[in-house]
Structure 1
């Protein structure tokens, strides 16, 4: 079966840059242009609006210089205006060969913004296209506010299409400028245009104001559209444009008869770079590229994945250069833990696995972020042989203070075999103050504390500031030297946990 080819035009560098607060530098634009064409393999890119700024001019010039050397110049497009040739002059100086001419697609815009008749507008458009031709520039036309035009002034839209179909243009671009279309309307309107003008190459440009951008793209393709305008991460004005990552996945999975060039496995890489350059964070639950979308949290899902991949769908993370993860937290089951242990090359017996699972659940209940890298420390803590004692001593509560210009202090409440003691003290640090207060308690009991001979703290490689850390303290008495460990996301709490173990051992 011959597949119908759909062109993908990425407009991240033009329409995507209209995201509030976003401005790509010239070097960032060039880097992204190269990635979009050479790595992601989109068919065309719209990189700027003409006449915007000197910086924009330099960015376009640089991209066109690179594109000319690498046979991509026909894929580089710029938004232009019906402005008596000013945009054309700008393009000639920048070296651009394709203009996307902004024209009016609704009678409302034409009447109230331009205050012109259709005949006047068409005449000026024809002059602009002819001028572009004289300079070797090909033309695509945008019908701005086309969706409202189809709703409220379809006679004008078809009058315009009668005119433009006779002009030397390459593409007619139909934008849902305000993101107002329902999927049913997107299908209906494009079907009407396509059936009336089968020889026109139609592009659809969706906005996401009702969160229907991807759905409208799907319906547009079903209706026979020839090209789509998309942006990385759905960037764009207001709620943004239809996101390329979702649109590509939807078309590939639901319309297998459609051919598109985009290389899925590069989507995540480009998406993360756009996130970095733009400063606009990708929501963790954003389909395809969000941090959480390929993470199973519930233990039952991990268990199902072990049993004939019950919770898998066609939306596999490997397609997009990603991997499935199994979150560790209060909803974790043994299957989640096992999946993470497998990645670390570790295996536990059932009894130890139960203990580790329970510890992960306890940490998750405290809203700790538990990572795969934390697991070896959790295992070490749970299976710690020094923990095999009868607990007779408990640090019931403590207050630690640290202020600039004042010595750290600690107030400690300790329960020793049912008897409660409270002391406070100062020290050279919070843990030193804690130990000094503890020493006062034990002095009351006429007992001495062991000597602290070594103190080490470590976190899992690659972890962040909220990672679990492990504190290992070595103690020395007259008779022996021994080590205790503490595990928590707070370094001082780790040390206190390790100290409580020591108190019970002695």
Structure 2
């Protein structure tokens, strides 16, 4: 094997990936993903659809081909076609495509039981389609469907098929492990047989992940000298999916010093777009792109990173457009908390650090991971630096919620040393609370009360019922817009905290 083999990446997220159960991209989503794959990630080729599927599919292919043609990339756009005389070729040509990936039978079983044909008959059918495609000025690649079973159980059939097609000006022979049955040792054995017999042919390998071996099998194929690999974003694909591009890229580069054209720094971004369009959530522990894979939880790891990056490997998050995070929880030490404070630009003295650490460990017992976003609130919660300076303090409040009745709120609040009490009903508990406040400010004090222009609630990662709720409220006070945040296990309480912060801000302005 050469020192730095050059590997061609064909991404089939838009064709095989879309065969994931429940996944269907609309045409503009397909175009967006195609652009990201070719322009941002710089994959060599993309397979975007199967011929003859639907009008929607036809429109998507036409949009992608139009776009690619304007950028001189049409030769990188491929469509799966079938051995069906002129039908598939015409479909692809009318959609503007220039490359057809022809699905042929790569195992004797498939040929005999599905097509009910002999190898010679199948070869005749294939050659007719290939010749017709070439007449239409199209490039042809050939899939040997079920090749893995074919080479295992009927190698003579596979060699007969290859021998029969080798002079037909086919660009690439693509060898799929259609049912995901191979292990890496078999891939090496079978691929080497293919390479030995057809040393000058461009071979692609297409893995499936049924035994969780897709990535390993891809690497075995590279070791055996294949020129091209098929991947999908996030490993989408039928059944257990295909080989995920991010993992394949990282291993090719770090373990084999192989050269690809992939721009690693865009992997995370493209992965998130595909996650959102496909609706298939990326598991947090998925290598390279998962939420948790660049998060250290143990305090000893943060300490080691402070002391010469002792807990880092070659998978540096910055490579993939990400940053390393230090999770805060019951295993956090002060080093973890320091790392988080550093990235927020905050500094604490030793005594305050101890208090904050204690509080995080306490919270970590209730909620597994405290996020960096939680940290400023925890600090102000624990240290209450400015509680004496606050001009507005909520002394007590009571909210009710009963079926068939409007929610009610009663509150007692201290403004500049004086206590005020008021009640109101509203459309919700928080609405009732704000109306009671408004009565005090507008009615009793004769002052303006800011308009609430936006109210956003989010649950920091973790999303369990005992997680924090963060409420961000946008206010408008005499044309000036500002935001306040509240953090609590209870949504209403979080909103009330954000509101009291707002009152203190306008009190200072009022002064």
Q: Shared topology, TM-score over 0.5?
A: yes
Distance in 1, matches of 2:129 and 2:488, equals 68
Aligned to 1:380: 380
What are the residue-to-residue correspondences of 1:32-111 with 2, within 5 Å? 32-111=33-112
Task: Give the aligned partner of residue 153 of structure 1.
Answer: 154
Instruction: Give per-residue Cα distances to partners, 1:49-86, cap 9 Å, x unaligned.
Output: 11111111111111111211211111111100000111
Q: Is this contact kept in 1: 2:6–2:260, CA < 8 A?
A: yes
TM-score normalized with structure 1 length? 0.80
1:259 alignment partner, SS class: coil
Point out the more displaced range, 399-408 or 94-103: 399-408
Q: Within 2, Cα distance between the matches of 1:462 and 1:181? A: 49
1:385 offset after TM fit, Å?
A: 6.0
Partners in 1 of 2:70 and 2:159 — Cα distance? Answer: 40
| Cα deviation, residue 284, structure 1 | 1.0
Between Structure 1 and Structure 2, whose CA radius of gyration is higher?
1
Asked whether the 8 Å contact 2:327–2:369 carries over to 1, the reply is: no
Q: 1:31 to 1:433 in 2, by over 3 A?
A: closer
Measure how far apart 1:427 and its partner are.
Answer: 8.5
1:461-490 C-alpha deviation (Å, 9 max, x unpaired): 99724545699xxxxxxxxxxxxxx97322
What's the counterpart of residue 313 of structure 2? 313
What does 1:14-25 correspond to in 2, within 5 Å? 14-25=15-26
CA drift of 1:354 comes to: 1.2
Distance 2:195 2:75 in 1: 25
Distance 1:243 1:368, change over 3 A: closer
Shift of 1:3: 3.1
1:403 and 2:438 equivalent?
Answer: no
Query: CA separation in 1, counterparts of 2:249 and 2:400?
Result: 55
Query: Cα offset for 1:14?
Result: 0.6
The DSSP-based 3-state class of the residue aligned with 1:66 is helix
Residue number in structure 1 paired with 2:268:
268
Structure 1: how far apart are the matches of 2:253 and 2:74? Answer: 28
Match of 1:350 in 2: 350
1:359 aligns with 2:353: no
1:72-221 residue pairs with structure 2 within 5 A?
A: 72-221=73-222
On the 8 A contact 2:14/2:49 being kept in 1, the answer is: yes
Change (3 A) 1:409 1:109: same
5+ residue gaps, structure 2, are 389-397, 410-422, 434-448, 461-467, 473-485, 498-511
Relative to structure 1, the CA distance from residue 385 to residue 317 in structure 2 (aligned partners, 3 Å threshold; closer, same or farther) is closer
Tell me the equivalent position of 2:481: none
How far apart, in 1, do the equivalents of 2:224 and 2:241 lie? 23
Distance 1:152 1:431, change over 3 A: closer
Residue aligning to 1:422: none
Q: Counterparts of 1:468 and 1:235 in 2: how far apart (Å)?
A: 32
Cα displacement string for residues 423-444 of structure 1 (whole angstroms, at most 9, x for unaligned residues): xxx985979999xxxxxxxxxx
Q: Is the 8 Å Cα contact of residues 457 and 471 (structure 2) preserved in structure 1?
A: no
1:226 matched to 2:227? The reply is yes
Q: Matches of 2:399 and 2:175 in 1, distance apart?
A: 64
1:229-268 matches, cutoff 5 A: 229-256=230-257, 258-268=258-268
Offset of residue 2 of structure 1: 6.7
| Counterpart for residue 464 of structure 1 | 458
Which sections of structure 1, spanning at least 5 residues, go unmatched? 389-398, 411-425, 435-454, 472-485, 497-506
Q: Is the 8 A contact 1:299 1:334 kept in 2?
A: yes
Pairwise CA distance, 1:387: 9.0
Question: What residue number does 1:290 align with?
Answer: 290
CA separation in 1, counterparts of 2:39 and 2:220? 28
SS at match of 1:167: coil
Q: CA 1:61 to 1:378, structure 2 compared with 1: closer, same or farther past 3 Å?
A: same
Superposition RMSD on alpha carbons, in Å? 3.2
Corresponding residue for residue 328 of structure 2:
328
